[in-house]
Structure 1
Amino acid sequence: MGSISGKRFGNYILYAIGEIVLVVLGILIAVGINNWNEDKKEADRLATYLHNYRTDLVTDTTVIGINLRLLEQKKEAFHLVLSDTMTKQQLMTTPLAFSLITTHRPLQLQNKGYNELKNYASNDRTMTDSLVSTIITTHAAFDDLIMQAQERINKDIDENLGYFKNNKEWMADLLSQKLSDDVIAYFLSDDYRNRASLHYVLVYKNLHTFLSAYNDHAIGLLERIDERLSKTP
């Protein structure tokens, strides 16, 4: 009887251990599935944010491309004004020459996708992700450079308009596109050439340079994002 009871007790212990093992395995499997689901959700969320940032990049490169083409068109007028040989006839046949230092086409980088990625990475989940960290650091840097360059351009435009308003009686004629002799005389003057020279530096040595660099950078990022998204299930 004692051996039979011992066998029964041993079988019970084995059964209990087996039950415990099954419970533990069930918990581990459940945890694994839950972790996989969480990882899948995180991957999907990141893919959504990268897709949104990609959309922003497409918008940015389109707008910047338009601005760069317009700036290239204005460059010829700048070169004419900055030369010492511009004639009245050349000035009259170059309408852009009259608005070089008083107009600017503003632009602003899209920030929806960037802000999503920045917030997503704030808990250090993705800071080891080279693509995400590159986006966060470079976008902020370019955005700051482009905004500062435009602020300097706008400040110079305001100063030029203020100067014309307070010192030039022909301001009303210029705004109404009446090219009087006084207007023509000023735009052929050294003062205008000097002001145009400073504005040229602000536009082409700063803003144009930053926009071109960002455009090239964005094209490279688009390739990396497309490659990443193509691997996302």
Structure 2
Amino acid sequence: MIKFFRHIRKRLVVENRFSKYLLYAIGEIILVVIGILIALQINNWNNTQINKKEEQTILKNLNFEFKKNRRDLELVKNNYLRFINSTKTTLNLIGENRETLQQHNTDSLISESINYYDYRPTENVLSDLISSGKLKLIVSDSLRLHLFQWSSFLNEKEEAWDTLDDFSQNMMMPYLTKNASLKNIDSYGFLDWKAPSKLNPDTYKMFQDIEFENNIDNHAWSLTNYMLALENLENTIDKILVETSKIKD
């Protein structure tokens, strides 16, 4: 094909037909440009198809990861509802007479109140997307926004956890250490002590103490604050799952 074009050019030059040669040269340039544009178009189309396939894989992996996070979060929320209810029940018993207190297992209530733990979702897929720069392959603006919100709400959850843990370790536990039997309380936890404390502490006095009421109230606030952070995460997960379910086969 190249030899064919060269032959035409040579013939036009020899015949001194400059105007026709000029038109031919321009036409040849146009053909070359068109060829380049077509090649670029094909290359762009191929890259677009590759990116679309990779995006579908990303959506599938995100959907799988956040479904697991959603299941784990549901379990954690259910446990925190129990923690909060036990804390509120304990708070309502403060100031009651000895007979009323004896109708409740206060050590068990306190044990469930302070048996909190942190929710730790997996972020392997999202972390890989951010570190590799592949987050830009996600076409949906709303999905990218929800993923950024997830990171923001996760930071809020960490702050709520720090508040809860700091108060429990620096206020609640020191108070219980001085005024209650941790052995009796821990017998309803994973330590599962079979015999109660031989010191036979009188918890009635503790339930008449304003400091204990304030500690329980603060603990209830910290648990509820953490629960609200979990609900923000849950709402964001649901939005992410809706977006990542739009997977084309």
Q: Say whether the fold is shared (TM-score over 0.5).
A: yes
* Residue 212 of structure 1 pairs with residue 222 of structure 2: no
1:46 maps to 55
How many residues are matched? 223
1:111 maps to 123
Pairing of 1:9-158 with structure 2 (within 5 A) = 16-84=25-93, 85=96, 87-92=100-105, 96-119=108-131, 125=136, 129-158=140-169
> Following the alignment from structure 2 to structure 1, what is the Cα–Cα distance between the partners of residues 214 and 230?
25
Is this contact kept in 2: 1:100–1:196, CA < 8 A? Answer: no
Query: 1:100, CA displacement in angstroms?
Result: 4.2
* Residue 202 of structure 1 pairs with residue 222 of structure 2: yes
Query: 1:201, CA displacement in angstroms?
Result: 0.3
Deviates more, 1:71-80 or 1:172-181: 172-181
Identity %: 19
Query: 1:163, CA displacement in angstroms?
Result: 3.8
For residues 94-138 of structure 1, give each alpha carbon's deviation from its aligned partner in whole angstroms, at most 9, with x where no partner exists: 664122453212112332233244346689x56985224313430
Query: 1:30, CA displacement in angstroms?
Result: 1.4
How much is the aligned-residue C-alpha RMSD, in angstroms? 3.4
2:15 maps to 5
Amino acid at match of 1:199: H
**3-state DSSP of counterpart to 2:245:** helix
Amino acid at match of 1:5: E
Amino acid at match of 1:202: S
Amino acid at match of 1:97: L
Runs of 4+ residues over 6 Å off in structure 1: none
Structure 2: give runs of 5+ residues left out of the alignment.
1-13, 188-192
* Closer/same/farther in 2, CA of residues 169 and 142 from structure 1, 3 Å limit: closer
Report the TM-score when normalising by structure 2: 0.72
Report the TM-score when normalising by structure 1: 0.77
Query: 1:168, CA displacement in angstroms?
Result: 4.7
**3-state DSSP of counterpart to 1:91:** coil
For residues 185-219 of structure 1, give each alpha carbon's deviation from its aligned partner in whole angstroms, at most 9, with x where no partner exists: 36634343332211100011x11112122212321
Is this contact kept in 1: 2:83–2:112, CA < 8 A? Answer: yes
For residues 6-30 of structure 1, give each alpha carbon's deviation from its aligned partner in whole angstroms, at most 9, with x where no partner exists: 56x6665555444433332221111
Is this contact kept in 2: 1:117–1:136, CA < 8 A? Answer: no
Is this contact kept in 2: 1:103–1:157, CA < 8 A? Answer: no
Greater C-alpha radius of gyration: 2
Structure 1: give runs of 5+ residues left out of the alignment.
none
Deviates more, 1:211-220 or 1:187-196: 187-196
* Closer/same/farther in 2, CA of residues 147 and 197 from structure 1, 3 Å limit: same
